[in-house]
């Protein structure tokens, strides 16, 4: 049995969709905290079960019969290491034969950034579990890039961070396909492995791509975070959204350069999608 946790989320639903092209529905278990959000999945014959990592008592029944497990990392920053630890312990107790975990680039238990540290700490727990495991270190979603460029396109100009590190943005769809490859055993890599898009782009590169897609020149202006925030708030973006997104992407440009890999292609049989399809909505701006 193949079990996917967090199956009601964006990534989880995509994983279920692609997994069902490989295996019959009666061999798939989808776990979630929100059973009412997976009625459509249950209608396809998938075994939908309640699982809440913050309530370990729910996990033995959720994981019963599982041979290969995909743990999609939770969103509870500050709590998810303990949540992941509970899930891994339950998987061991259930006799799971392989665990795949969705991690992040440059995961490191000693990292200063809490998200990278939590992913690294979870990988440590996996390594100590005694169960074969794979950690998919997914690059940032291209969908996040689209949201950021939408936000910082001001008066026809793209306001970008001063740092110009290159990141290999990957689509959520390609992350799902890779997860299915690892869950099904098609991708046989063990331990941590980088999951990336096909090219590494700086934000200046992204502006050039937007120019090509839109058919008009989109100039860039590199600014400190506070100036970008002020200008996007002035165009009507909520201050809390700008205050979260701009520093996050600026930090990424400063600290999280990634190199393209062939992981998606080896896992899925198809090359990863470029960012163009995600960014192409700008062509009509």
User: Which helix (H) or strand (E) element contains residue 193?
Assistant: strand 191-195
Q: Would 184 be classed as within a structural domain?
A: no
The domain spanning residue 206 has which CATH number? 3.90.25.10
pLDDT at 284 over 80: no
Which residue stretches of 129-190 are H helix?
A: 142-152, 172-184
- Residue-wise pLDDT for 68-122, tens only, equals 999 999 988 889 999 999 999 999 999 999 999 999 999 999 998 898 999 999 9
Q: Would 100 be classed as within a structural domain?
A: yes
**For residues 150 and 45, which has the higher predicted lDDT (pLDDT)?**
45
The pair of structure tokens assigned to 95 is 């006799």
- Residue-wise pLDDT for 174-193, tens only, equals 999 999 999 999 999 999 99
Domain span at 228: 142-167+198-258+273-284
Closest CA to 59 of 78, 84, 79: 84
pLDDT at 282 over 50: no
Under 8 Å between Cβ of 64 and 94: yes
Boundary residue ending a domain (138, 158, 189): 138
Picking from 218-222, 270-274, 278-282, which range would have the lowest pLDDT averaged per residue? 278-282
DSSP 29-47: EEEES-GGGGHHHHHTT-E
Tell me the C-alpha distance between 13 and 256, whole Å.
27
What total of structural domains would you count in the chain?
2
Query: What does pTM read for this prediction?
Result: 0.92
Q: Would 266 be classed as within a structural domain?
A: no
């Amino acid at each position: 049995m193949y079990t996917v946790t967090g199956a009601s989320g964006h990534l989880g639903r995509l994983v279920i969709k692609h997994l069902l092209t490989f295996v019959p529905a009666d061999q798939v278990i989808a776990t979630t905290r929100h059973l009412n959000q997976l009625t459509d999945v249950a209608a396809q014959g998938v075994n939908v079960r309640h699982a809440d990592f913050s309530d370990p008592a729910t996990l033995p029944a959720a994981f019963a019969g599982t041979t290969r497990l995909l743990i999609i990392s939770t969103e509870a920053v500050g709590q998810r290491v303990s949540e992941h630890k509970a899930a891994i312990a339950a998987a061991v107790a259930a006799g799971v034969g392989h665990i795949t975990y969705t991690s992040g680039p440059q995961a490191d238990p000693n990292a200063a950034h809490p998200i990278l540290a939590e992913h690294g700490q979870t990988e440590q727990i996996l390594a100590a579990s005694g169960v074969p495991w794979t950690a998919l270190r997914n690059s940032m979603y291209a969908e996040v890039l689209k949201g950021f460029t939408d936000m910082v396109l001001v008066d026809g100009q793209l306001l970008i961070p001063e740092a110009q590190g290159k990141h290999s943005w990957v689509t959520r769809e390609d992350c799902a396909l890779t997860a299915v490859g690892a869950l099904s055993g098609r991708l046989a890599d063990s331990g941590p492995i980088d999951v990336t898009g096909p090219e590494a782009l700086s934000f200046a590169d992204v502006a050039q791509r937007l120019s090509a897609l839109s058919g008009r020149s989109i100039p860039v202006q590199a600014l400190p975070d506070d100036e970008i925030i002020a200008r996007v708030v002035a165009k009507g973006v909520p201050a809390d959204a700008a205050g979260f997104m701009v520093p996050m992407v600026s930090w990424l440009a400063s600290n999280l350069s990634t190199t393209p890999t062939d992981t998606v292609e080896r896992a899925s049989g198809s090359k990863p999608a470029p960012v163009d399809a995600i960014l192409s909505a700008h062509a009509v701006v």
